[in-house]
Structure formats: structure tokens, C-alpha cells
Amino acid sequence: MKHFSFLLGAGFSKPAGYPLAAEINNKFRSLTHKDFMISSSQSAHLIQRGQDQNWLIEKYQYMFVEEFIKFYNEKIIPNSEFHYEDFFDYYNDLNRREELSSDEKIFFDEFKNKYDYPLDHHSLLFDFNRTYNQLVAHFITVEWPLSASILKPYSKQEHAEFLYLLEYLAENYKVHIHSLNHDLLIEKYFHTQTLGNKISDGFDDSYSPYFANITLTANKKGNINPYTHDIRLRRFKNKFDSTFNLYKLHGSVDNYVFNLNNKKYDMIKWAYGINEGSVYKEITTYLGEIKKENFYMDVIPEFLSGTTEKLRHYERTVYYSQIFQRLFQNLINSKHLIVIGYGFKDSKINEYLKTYFLNDSQKIMIVIDVSKPQSDIIDMNNVKFISKSVLDLDIEEVKTTLDI
């Protein structure tokens, strides 16, 4: 079986209404403590202005989010534009430091005095990081894919031509779709006639010991009766054995870490509609009894952020090292690679493209984007740039350029 690879960046999702970095930056610049709620479990989500908040959570947690972003804009980058990933790098570096700049010391001292907060800046940043990442996930998640079939013709789908291209390639190739996006757009297309039952994402529910409950309703003689039902959750098994295979290189807003007694970490897939705090693992004791164990489940979705911070995690063993090994092997095995909507700003991804693909002059890479990315990669001999949106994808042009 021949192999064919794709690499998708944020520009791929934009035509479907998913935000680019600039739009997320604007939302954080204008964010106030009235725009989100933190629950007692520390999960956080956006709310409408005026909607009731959970004031069981101490006020300082809300106010620190607003005031820390304002401090960063006014004191750390007064002459620069806010970027949510640069900001992520900044506060993670700050959290690793014991020594603060004079501006940072003034800010933290004044904040702690104002809200009578007794602990250090590390504790404030620990709480902040948990809230901030969840808000990033909410800004990214335009919609949660529902199990509704999308049949051809794809007249209302923004990526119709992309789906038809996948269909054409499936006749002769095993197709590898590598995405740098955290959103769930490709997962939405799992339900299309093209990809349905023919795609793997490395997660599997076969014999999975992970479960959660979901609340459903039953209508009995006009009475709506809620009831709970347990469902099995998928966990990462590094299994990619379908015609189409999706690799979320930077994680995903529906990836979560389940930690069993600080000994074993598993990556599991969140399912739409499951009840918060209901995830458990079935464990068989040495006596043969089956127990439900509710150990630590992080409320933060597992995805990478930061311009440089994310590079530190590419070799993490739980998920990322395995998914990147898949990328390397797929690039080696593929003669053709199509890159859509990626700006070539990730130094390690660029290095991997050169090492595992472009150094072979017999391979061909097509870059499809509305504007030409500023990168030396674009000028390499085996790279062809097509100035188009993914909406205007021309299958015949792709076939001709790649001679497939």
C-alpha cells in the first residue's frame, strides 16, 4: 500500500468559522472577570455578560485572570500586540522563576495585599493556568461534532473539495492527516460519507476500562424522566490501521489525562454530554472483584500551546512522543505531502519536514495557502506553492502537480 500525507494548520479550519490566532488574541484582550465562570471542580467556561457566576470560588481567582492579562499588556509588552501563545510562554517562564522583575514584584505584592492572598506567585499562576487553558479551548471549540451523518453531495460543506480529494486518494493510498489544530473540525468530518467508518485517530474503546455517565431523558406518558447511563470511553492505543488516519500533533480539546494514583497516565477521549466528575476506571482486584476508581482527572484539555513552550513537550511519553514517531515514519513512507494553512512558524515541525521528507529530492510537497508563507522551505526545489484557499482547491491541479 502506498502512503500519502497531509499537514494541516489553522488556515485549514478558518473557512469553517474557526478562529485564527488574531481573533483569539482580541477575545483575551477584552476579557473581564464577568465573561467566564469557574465551577467548584475548577472547570471553567465562558458565559454571557450578566449570567450568574459561581461565587463559591474566591473572588481573587476571577480577578487575577483579568488583572494579570492587563498587567502583561501594559507592563511587559507595552509596545507590542498581545498574542495568546506568547503570553502562555511568558507566564510559564515566570512560574519557573523565583526571581521577579521590579514590575512583576510590584504587581504580585499589590494583588496579594488587595485580595488578602497569603501564598506566592507560583500558586496564583497554577490556578491561572488551569483557567486560561480552558478558556483557550472554549474560544477554539466552535462546535462539538454530533453523530449525524453527512451525505454526498457536500453542497453545504466548506471543505467539500478536500473530502472529494480524500476519496480519490483512498483508491490507491493509505492517507495520513497530520493536524496542528486543537479544534474538532476533522472529527466533524468523521461523520461524512467519505470518512465514515474508514478513519482512525489512535484511540480505541475496545476493552477500554474507562467509563463515564451521561444523563438522558425518557418521555413516559408526557412525563420527562431523566436517567443516567454509563458509556465506555476511548483511550489512546496508538492504533492507526484505517484507510484514513488522523494524528493530532498538538493534542486536542477533547483529549484528557487520567492519572491513576500518580503511577500510570492514560490519555482518554472526552465524549459529548458526559457528566462532569463522572469518569472512572474499572479495576480488577487480586480477589477478582471489579471496582470503580475515580482517581485524578485533569479539568484541563490536553493540548499544547505557546510559541516555544509546546516544543518542550514533543517528547513526552504519554502521547506526544508516540504521535511524532508516527509523523516521522509517515513522512518517510510518503512520496507526496500536501500542506494546507500552515504558516511554517514551528521550528521543530519545519526541521522534521526537512529531515524526513524534503531531503529526498524524489518527494514532492504542495503548499496551499491564500498568501505565501515566509519560510526558506517554500523555495526548496521539491516544494510547489499554490496560492489558493482550501475552499478553491482544484483536484485536477493537485493531480497534475503531483502526477498522481
Rounded mean pLDDT for each run of 10 residues along the chain, 404 residues in total: 96 92 94 90 83 77 96 96 96 96 97 94 95 94 76 79 95 97 93 89 94 79 75 95 97 88 80 85 86 78 92 88 97 98 95 97 96 95 95 93 92
Tell me, what's the pLDDT at 197?
A: 86
- In the DSSP assignment, the letter for residue 234 is P
Cβ atoms 270, 235 nearer than 8 A: no
* Phi, psi for residue 358 in degrees, rounded to 5: -75, -20
Cβ atoms 94, 79 nearer than 8 A: no
Give Rg (Cα) of the chain. 23
| Interior/surface letters 355-386, b for 16+ CB within 10 angstroms, e for the rest | ebbbeeeebbbbbbbeeebebeebeeeebbeb
Whether omega before 153 lies within 30 degrees of 0, making that bond cis, reads yes
Tell me, what's the pLDDT at 233?
A: 94
Closest CA to 46 of 68, 67, 24: 24
- In the DSSP assignment, the letter for residue 17 is T
Query: d(Cα 91, Cα 73) in Å, to the nearest integer?
Result: 12
Tell me, what's the pLDDT at 45?
A: 86
Query: d(Cα 341, Cα 180) in Å, to the nearest integer?
Result: 10
Q: Where are the beta strands (DSSP E) in 43-158?
A: 44-46
Cβ atoms 182, 140 nearer than 8 A: yes
3-state helix, strand, coil in the chain (%, to 5): 35, 25, 40
User: Looking at beta carbons, which pairs linking 142-146 to residues 24 or more positions away fall under 8 Å?
Assistant: 142/16, 142/17, 142/18, 142/19, 142/183, 142/185, 143/184, 143/188, 144/184, 144/272, 145/184, 145/187, 145/188, 145/190, 145/191, 145/272, 146/191, 146/272
Tell me, what's the pLDDT at 397?
A: 94
C-alpha cell at 26: 482580541
Model-wide pTM > 0.85: yes
What is the set of domains in the chain, with CATH numbers?
1-18+143-201+240-253+303-404 (3.40.50.1220), 21-140 (no CATH), 204-239+257-300 (no CATH)
3-state secondary structure 156-225: CCCCHHHHHHHHHHCCCEEEEEEECCCCCHHHHHHHECCCCCCEECEEECCCCCEEEEEEEEEEECCEEE
Cβ atoms 309, 91 nearer than 8 A: no
User: Residue 149 burial (CB < 10 Å; 0-12/13-18/19+)?
Assistant: exposed
Query: d(Cα 11, Cα 341) in Å, to the nearest integer?
Result: 4
Query: d(Cα 168, Cα 97) in Å, to the nearest integer?
Result: 53
Tell me, what's the pLDDT at 220?
A: 65
What DSSP assignment string belongs to 125-168?
HHHHHHHHHHHHHHHH-S----S--BPSS-TT-TTHHHHHHHHH
C-alpha cell at 49: 455578560
Query: d(Cα 240, Cα 170) in Å, to the nearest integer?
Result: 15
